[in-house]
Amino acid sequence: MRNTARWAAALGLTAAAVCGPLTGAAVAAPGAAPSSLYAPSALVLTTGHGDDAATATPERAVTLTCAPTASGTHPAAAQACAELRLAGGEPEALKPAEDVMCTKVYDPVVVTVQGVWQGKRVSYERTFGNVCMRDAAGGALFAF
């Protein structure tokens, strides 16, 4: 139960960093004109050791904004956004590196991606056998 609370707290804090605080002034009036020419693309990515997000202890969390330019706390934001564009904004469509060889030592690592990609809701969770397998599958996106 305590791990779930930590995971939720990490997601809440990083979501607040991406989206800002929710106040009455932040909510747009119905029929209001959009404030940007770009559909929103803002994501919160987390990683931690464990079998799933509900039981894993979060170890890192980053933000990634891809429109109009790549930004956020992700260390390779431009490259991560480029990979997501090639995958149509779907992390499960990322092509794993073919030239990487990983050990079969089982030390599960969970990655989550939550947010919006070009105006469409994204909710992704995947457990990899170990850090090497995560890095091979996620490229720059999961390298944080």
Q: How many domains does the chain have?
A: 1
24 falls within a domain: no
Indicate whether 23 belongs to any domain: no
CB atoms within 10 A of CB 20: 9
> pLDDT tens, 25-67?
444 445 545 555 667 899 999 999 999 999 998 899 999 999 8
Q: Is residue 31 assigned to a domain?
A: no
30 lies in some domain:
no
Question: Considering the chain, what is the average pLDDT of its residues?
Answer: 82
What residue numbers bound the domain in which 59 lies? 2-17+36-138
Asked if residue 103 is part of any domain, the answer here is yes
In this structure, is residue 25 part of a structural domain?
A: no
Q: What is the pLDDT of residue 121?
A: 94
What are the counts of helices (DSSP H) followed by strands (DSSP E) for the chain? 3, 4
**What is the pLDDT averaged over residues 68-85?**
95
CATH number of the domain that 124 lies in? Answer: 3.30.350.10
Confidence class for position 104, pLDDT limits 50, 70, 90: very high
The answer to whether residue 88 is domain-embedded is yes
CA distances, 59 to each of 6, 14, 80, 92, 112 (Å) = 10, 13, 19, 21, 12
For 117, the 3-state DSSP assignment is strand
Identify whether 55 is part of a domain.
yes
Cα(48)–Cα(57) distance, integer angstroms? 6
